[in-house]
Each structure stands twice: as C-alpha cells, then as structure tokens.
Amino acid sequence: MEKIVLASSNKGKISEVKEILKDFDIVTMAEVGFKDDIEENGLTFADNSMIKAKAIREFLKSKHLPYMVLADDSGLCVDALNGEPGVFSARYGGEHGNSEVNRQLVLHKLAGVKNRNAYFECAITLIRDDGKYIQVFGKTYGTILEGYRGSTDFGYDCIFYSTELGKSFGEATSAEKNKVSHRGRGLQLLLEELRNNNWRD
C-alpha cells in the first residue's frame, strides 16, 4: 500500500481523507516528524496547496523518504462578502484554527443580509518525490444559516446549509457530506487522475 503524507493537523480533514482514499496508507506530517510552520502566503487555494505540498516534499527528500504528499487548501466563500473568508478561512477571526471566532465573524457580517449564498472550494495537490504532481479542484454550493445547526466540531459546517443535502454539513453524516463536499469531490477527481496516470511536470 502506497504511503501518502497528508499536509494537515486538522482532525476533521484527516478523517475525511482517510475515509475516501482507503487504498492508500495515509499518515500525517506529524507522524513523519514534520513540525515546521508553513507560510501559506499564496493568493489562491491552488497556490497554498502547492506551497504546502512542496515544503513537505523537500523535508521528506532530506530524510530520504520517497513518499507522496497530499496537500489541500480550502475555504468558505460568501457572495455578499466578496468571496471572504476565502483563503483566510482558517484564520478569518485573527486566530488560526479558532472555528468559533471565525463562524461568529461571518454571522456578524451577514446580519440582516438577504443574499446568503456561499460555496466551499478546495484545491488538492498530490506530489511525488520526483516533483511530478496532480492538482484538482472541488466546489459545493449552499447558503449561510442565521445560527448553528448540528455539530460544531469542524470549521464552518454548522452554519453552511447544503442545497444538495437539504441540511447543514454539521447535521450530515460523514458519508453524506463526502458525497457532495468540495473535498470529497476533489478527492474523487484525484482518484480519476491517478487511474489515468495524469501526472504533470
């Protein structure tokens, strides 16, 4: 079973990836000893995904570990906020990874706003030790609720109402969410690209 190092410490994201990429041995960057902070200074999800993938690939090369690296950068984009939080989704409220602060800021900015259309977007990069890579994208559409529905464990899920599921992501099971989520769709595209051997230089 091929080993893939996942460029994330987010438990929800790790769980999603492991559930979909069942034919691979998914390990976290912490498990291979990568502890550095990666400066995600790209302007797009694609930029940041590639930055993370390359940083961990260089680390693995220095350790002579020929593993692939999977990096995902994703976020919530709200129409009425001109696409915010976007690439700043994880640190929208000023503190990286504080989902409660991030959610509250979105709800505060949308107070009284009728247009609550939004979508999740992700860019996924899989890079080999020789530098060849595959990059895919996923999107899912919905609206921002006026309050929480369901689990508050993962990001913006409890305030994002999926039009396809007819419920918030916070109310959905992992299987339901993975069928329509931005990351789920991106990972399915990644599997197709792998089957077709569509590596890029």
* pLDDT tens profile 82-124: 999 999 999 999 888 899 999 999 999 999 999 999 999 999 9
CATH number, span 3-195: 3.90.950.10
At 74, give phi and psi (nearest 5°).
-150, 165
How far is residue 189's CA from residue 195's CA, in Å, rounded to a whole number?
10
Is residue 192's pLDDT more than 90? yes
- Backbone CA torsion sign across 149, 153, 156, 162: negative
pLDDT in the model for residue 11: 82
The residue extents of the domains of the chain are: 3-195
pLDDT of residue 35: 87
Quick check: helix, strand or coil at residue 177?
A: helix
Q: Is 9 a residue whose pLDDT tops 90?
A: no
Sign of the dihedral through C-alpha 123, 126, 132, 134: negative
Q: What is the number of residues in the chain?
A: 201
For 28, 110, 123, 134, 161, the CA distances from 53, given in Å and listed in that order, are 12, 34, 11, 11, 30
pLDDT at residue 16 tops 90: no
Mean pLDDT of the chain: 94
Q: Where are the alpha helices (DSSP H) in 68-173?
A: 99-109
Rounded Cα–Cα distance for residues 39 and 12 (Å): 21
Angle, CA 16 vertex, CA 14 and CA 19 arms, to 5°: 105
Phi and psi for 151 in degrees, rounded to 5? -65, 140
**Token output for 105:** 């800021």
Active site residue 73: yes
Please tell me what DSSP assigns to residue 20. H
* pLDDT at residue number 75: 95
117-130 pLDDT, tens digit each: 999 999 999 999 99
What is the pLDDT, as a whole number, of residue 15? 87
Question: In the prediction, which pLDDT does 160 show?
Answer: 98
For 140-152, write each residue's pLDDT tens digit: 999 999 999 999 9
Model confidence at 153, pLDDT cuts 50, 70, 90, reads confident
Given the residues 36, 37, 72, 73, the one annotated as active site: 73
